Amino acid sequence: MERLQKVIAASGLISRRKAEELISMGKVKVNGILVKELGTKVEYSDIIEVDGKVIFKDVPKVYYLLNKPSGVITSTKDEKGRTTVVDLIDIEKRVYPVGRLDYDTTGLLILTNDGELANILMHPKNNISKTYLAKIKGILNKDDIERLKNGIIIDGRKVDTSNFKLKEKNREKDMSIIEITIHEGRNHIVKNIFSYLNHPVLRLKRTKIAFLNLDNLPVGKYRELKIKEVKRLYSLK
Q: Which residues are catalytic?
A: 102
CA distance 30 to 214: 41
Instruction: Determine the Cα–Cα distance for residues 224 and 14; give it in Å rounded to an integer.
Output: 20
Alpha-carbon distance of 99 to 87, in angstroms, equals 16
Give the span between the Cα atoms of 96 and 128, in whole angstroms.
Answer: 19
- Measure the CA–CA gap between 221 and 218, rounded to whole angstroms: 6
Residue 126 to residues 123, 163, 193, 234, 236: CA-CA distances in angstroms? 6, 18, 21, 11, 7
| Alpha-carbon dihedral 213, 215, 221, 226, rounded to 10 degrees | -70
How far are the Cα atoms of 193, 203, 222 from residue 186, in angstroms, in the given order? 11, 18, 24
| C-alpha to C-alpha distance for 135 and 51, rounded to whole angstroms | 43
Half-sphere exposure for 201 (CA within 13 Å, toward CB): 22
Q: Phi/psi of residue 231, each to 5°? A: -60, -40
DSSP 138: S
